[in-house]
């Protein structure tokens, strides 16, 4: 393997984001391939017996086993770290592997954590059901309200965890304010940045300690693979996350790593175009639905905050229909083009009814607390001509007489 400039931080540190997205992290084999290679290997062989001994002892660089290192995976990790402005990154097999690893690697029995209540459904399952089984208490707060974060702090609070904008209510958390509060109390902040990605929002620049990703979403961006990533300081990644990860094994496959690596090359182009399309579609819906949760529009109660901490508001938003679940399902059933799908961040526009899909594992009380109503629909806007999406949504609205 030849190290290229993409692996040299003294060079990549000077590159602008678009260059990092295309060349960051690249390694080349002796063949000199221009596209990054896929190393589908679980193990590595050595010239002599002393080499693996040195690598296992941490005295020499190099790969030992693909649960811990793989060249294709490392290229992706370096590229994500560069885009995020992080010292280090480790990838996982899915977004939920990333979220649960980011929590479990730093929490122990007797610790306490605070989570913003509007979060991805499985994230809330982990905080509400899994962590308490291991003696880790979790308090859910309205992430928009700094006083609730403050009031939830206990002497044993170790982690603040939030997602912004949050799925599916589009609540926005003031990243700088919550991270500053956490710092005062020696609490580590973890931000799930899946909805925005580094193309639109950089939590580390705003004071976050750790950024966790479902790379399944905008990073791959083409709906092909599951992947996750956790970014942070070299100290956090190497002393907390890595020991947990190498021994429990939520490792990303090299093939999936390669797909996400190639996805990152067009991340910024896609994220911006999809956000522009989402604005156009949001403006159409504004006069047609009783409630619209679109952080990119001035009607969103936190629009000023969005403008402060995001480059654009992203491609996902939600709205409510009168008539509850029945109307929401009838709307979806009337669509001809937009797919009924609970995924997001694809090039294809997708819509889902959160209460009966992504958030169905939560109790009705937790759903109500989060603001996930029976009449709510979520849309992830893709790269189609937005006019075609608007015509399809118009079909859905007419079907329910709206
Ligand atoms: C999808 C998603 C996850 C989980 O990612 P998977 O790859 O599906 O496990 C976590 N957080 C957010 C905000 C997501 O959208």
**Span 5-27, pLDDT tens digits:** 888 999 999 999 999 999 999 99
- 43-59 tens-digit pLDDT: 999 999 999 999 999 99
User: How many angstroms separate the alpha carbon of residue 32 from the centre of ligand 1?
Assistant: 35
Residues 348, 396, 303, 165: is their CA dihedral positive or negative? negative
Instruction: Determine the Cα–Cα distance for residues 384 and 119; give it in Å rounded to an integer.
Output: 28
Q: Report phi then psi at 280, rounded to 5.
A: -65, -45
Percent of the chain with pLDDT over 70: 99
- If one residue of 97, 121, 122, 352 were mutated to test the ligand 1 pocket, choosing by the most ligand atoms within 8 A of its CB, it would be 122
**What confidence category does residue 205 fall into, taking pLDDT thresholds of 50, 70 and 90?**
very high
Q: What is the mean pLDDT of residues 335-345?
A: 97
Pocket residue to mutate for ligand 1, from 95, 166, 196, 260, most atoms within 8 A of Cβ: 95
pLDDT at 4 over 80: no
Cα gap 108→51, rounded to integer Å? 36
Helix (H) or strand (E) holding 228: strand 228-232
Q: Residue 281 and residue 295: Cα distance in Å, rounded?
A: 13
Confidence of residue 361 (pLDDT cuts 50, 70, 90): confident
Q: Average of pLDDT values for 196-221?
A: 97
Q: Is the CB of 136 under 6 A from ligand 1?
A: no
Question: Helix (H, G, I), strand (E, B), or coil: what is residue 309?
Answer: helix
HSE, CB side, 13 Å, CA atoms: give it for residue 291: 19
Average pLDDT for residues 121-127, to the nearest whole number?
91
Evaluate if residue 120 carries a pLDDT over 90: no
pLDDT band at 3 (very low <50, low <70, confident <90, very high): low
> Nearest Cα to 174, choosing from 370, 310, 292?
310
Q: What residues pair up with 292 in beta bridges, in sequence order?
A: 319
Helices (H), 57-135: 71-84, 95-104, 121-125, 131-133
- Of the candidates 95, 100, 91, the residue with the CA atom closest to the CA atom of residue 68: 91
Model confidence, pTM: 0.95
């Amino acid at each position: 393997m030849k190290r290229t400039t993409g692996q040299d931080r003294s060079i990549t540190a000077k590159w602008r984001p678009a260059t990092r997205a295309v060349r960051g992290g690249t390694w080349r084999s002796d063949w000199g391939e221009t596209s990054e290679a896929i190393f589908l290997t679980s193990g590595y062989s050595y010239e002599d017996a002393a080499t693996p001994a040195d690598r296992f002892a941490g005295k020499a660089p190099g790969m030992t086993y693909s649960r811990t290192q793989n060249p294709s995976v490392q290229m992706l990790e370096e590229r994500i770290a560069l885009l995020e402005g992080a010292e280090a990154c480790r990838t996982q097999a899915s977004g939920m592997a990333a979220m649960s690893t980011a929590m479990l690697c730093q929490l122990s029995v007797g610790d306490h954590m605070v989570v913003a209540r509007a979060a991805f459904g499985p994230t809330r399952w982990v905080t509400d059901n899994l962590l308490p089984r291991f003696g880790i208490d979790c308090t859910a707060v309205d992430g928009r309200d700094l006083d609730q974060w403050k009031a939830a702090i206990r002497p044993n609070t170790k982690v603040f965890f939030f997602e912004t904008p949050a799925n599916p209510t589009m609540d926005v958390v003031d990243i700088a304010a919550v991270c500053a509060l956490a710092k005062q109390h020696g609490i580590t902040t973890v931000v799930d940045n899946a909805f925005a990605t580094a193309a639109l929002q950089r939590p580390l620049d705003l004071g976050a300690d750790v950024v966790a990703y479902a790379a399944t979403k905008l990073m791959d961006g083409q709906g092909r693979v599951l992947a996750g990533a956790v970014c942070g300081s070299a100290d956090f990644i190497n002393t907390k996350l890595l020991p947990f990860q190498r021994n429990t094994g939520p490792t990303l496959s090299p093939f999936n790593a390669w797909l996400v690596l190639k996805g990152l090359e067009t991340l910024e182009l896609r994220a911006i175009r999809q956000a522009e399309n989402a604005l156009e579609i949001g403006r159409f819906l504004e006069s047609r639905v009783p409630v619209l949760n679109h952080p990119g529009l001035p009607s969103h109660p936190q629009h000023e905050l969005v403008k402060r901490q995001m480059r654009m508001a992203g491609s996902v938003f939600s709205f409510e229909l009168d008539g509850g679940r029945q109307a929401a399902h009838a709307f979806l059933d009337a669509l001809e083009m937009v797919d009924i799908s609970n995924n997001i961040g694809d090039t294809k526009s997708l819509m889902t009814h959160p209460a009966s899909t992504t958030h169905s594992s939560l109790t009705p009380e937790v759903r109500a607390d989060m603001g996930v109503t029976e009449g709510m629909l979520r849309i992830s806007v893709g790269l189609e001509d937005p006019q075609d999406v608007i015509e399809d949504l118009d079909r859905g609205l007419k079907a329910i007489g709206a």
